[in-house]
Amino acid sequence: MTTARAPYYLDCDTGIDDALAIGYLLAAAADETAGIEIVGIGSVSGNVSASVGAYNTLDLLALAGAAGIPVAIGAHDPQGGSFRGGAPHVHGANGVGDVEIDKSDVAVSAESAAELLVRLAHEHEGELRVIAIGPLTNIAEALRLDPELPGLVKELTLMGGAARVPGNITPVAEANIANDADAAAEVFAAEWFITMVPLDVTMTNVFLEHHRQTLIDSGRPVATALGHMLDYYFEFYVGVYGHRASALHDPLAVAIALGEVALKTAPVVRVLVDDTAGPGRGQTICDLRGSYNGFPEQSNAHTRVVLELESDFAPVLLARLLTA
């Protein structure tokens, strides 16, 4: 007897924390009790170019022995501008902390990421879960390719934005949203159920040096590679936290999409993205005015904003990665 597993599409800009997220997702997919299947991965320019992100992803899949998952290159440029070279100061010149991983011999998909997403949404109508951990350019493109997409997709979980904490690109804007604010505005305006995993929770759940050493000491190929990548990421975050550590942006979004993290405060509220040219550009404006009164229900709200977790995410992530 075969039990259907829940199908997931991942959109990413791999990226060190994307690599952690892919490691988490692969480990969960390999765990039959998790009941999930990765049916496709698209790349988008963000931390690195869409092309580099796709090849980094293929290499990680090969390292994990999961080379059969289709990987499609997505949008190189944000909707209203040009890709500006990513964040090599955060993720290293090659996007994975300058760690060398064996090149996969698998080719990228002939489809674009947006085309892959639309096809998968039809093939798995009503069942496909979408996880977006990069800028939302591909998701917005898919919405334009097929305006019926929100009705086909079961839910969208995304890493991005900031609700009650500062941004990381401007005082109010987080990188994934800011890198394509126009696309993000379209995605948040579309009528699907979104779970937004903002800096509020991704900055306060961190890996420290002992987590990193445990990954390296595991001797497992993916876990060890991730531990080495984190060396680069930890150095960047000294300027943020005042000590070596890493925020757990993307893997937390994956874990929440998989329902493997308990949420303490996560109201469903109206969210819109500031897509003006003003100082607020790229901000996720969340209507949290109900916060003094237990967040009364809001009309037309379809975004769950994760503000607090029940407990620290780092042990959950570490446990999964040690099986990766």
Which residues are catalytic, by number? 13, 249
Structure tokens, 21:
């997220």
Residue number, 301 or 322, with CB nearest to its own copies? 301
Structure tokens, 47:
């931390």
CB of 26: closest distance to its own copies in angstroms?
Answer: 30
Contact stretch for its own copies (CB under 8 A) within 13-21, 59-67, 162-170, 221-229: 162-170
Residue number, 54 or 286, with CB nearest to its own copies? 286
CB burial readout 191-226, b (16+ within 10 A) else e: ebebbbbbbbbbbebbbeeebbeebbebebbbbbbb
Q: For residue 251, give the nearest of 86, 133, 160 by alpha carbon.
A: 133
Helix (H, G, I), strand (E, B) or coil at 323: coil
Contact stretch for its own copies (CB under 8 A) within 33-41, 250-258, 292-300, 302-310: 292-300
Regarding 172 and contact with its own copies (CB under 8 A), the answer is: yes
Site for its own copies in 240-269 (CB under 8 A): 240-242
Residue number, 281 or 320, with CB nearest to its own copies? 281
Helix (H, G, I), strand (E, B) or coil at 202: helix
Residue number, 4 or 277, with CB nearest to its own copies? 277
Q: Determine how β-strand 194-197 pairs with β-strand 303-305.
A: parallel
Contact stretch for its own copies (CB under 8 A) within 38-46, 52-60, 122-130, 165-173: 165-173
Contact stretch for its own copies (CB under 8 A) within 8-16, 27-35, 168-176, 251-259: 168-176
Residue number, 68 or 294, with CB nearest to its own copies? 294
Residue 271 bridge partners (DSSP): 286
Q: How far apart are CA 75 and CA 3, in angstroms?
A: 35
Give the residue carrying structure tokens 């997505």. Answer: 74
Binds its own copies by CB under 8 A, chosen from 154, 164, 228, 302: 164
Residue number, 228 or 270, with CB nearest to its own copies? 270
Residue number, 54 or 247, with CB nearest to its own copies? 247
Binds its own copies by CB under 8 A, chosen from 35, 65, 80, 171: 171
Q: How far apart are CA 131 and CA 195, in angstroms?
A: 9
Report which secondary-structure segment, H or E, holds 142.
Answer: helix 137-145
Give the residue carrying structure tokens 């969210």. Answer: 271
- Is residue 205 within 8 A of residue 241, CB to CB? The reply is no
CB of 279: closest distance to its own copies in angstroms?
Answer: 5
Rounded alpha-carbon distances, angstroms, from residue 267 to 12, 190, 270, 274, 292: 25, 18, 10, 20, 12
Regarding 299 and contact with its own copies (CB under 8 A), the answer is: no
Binds its own copies by CB under 8 A, chosen from 109, 114, 274, 304: 274
Structure tokens, 53:
């992100």
Q: How far apart are CA 9 and CA 131, in angstroms?
A: 6
Regarding 301 and contact with its own copies (CB under 8 A), the answer is: no
Binds its own copies by CB under 8 A, chosen from 33, 292, 299, 300: 292
| Count of Cβ atoms closer than 10 Å to residue 62 Cβ | 17
Regarding 279 and contact with its own copies (CB under 8 A), the answer is: yes
Site for its own copies in 201-240 (CB under 8 A): 203, 240
Total residues in contact with its own copies, by rule CB under 8 A: 31
Regarding 150 and contact with its own copies (CB under 8 A), the answer is: no
Burial of residue 302, with CB atoms counted within 10 A of its CB: 0-12 exposed, 13-18 middle, 19 or more buried:
middle
Contacts with its own copies, residue ranges (CB under 8 A): 164-168, 170-172, 203, 240-242, 270, 272, 274-280, 283, 285-289, 291-294
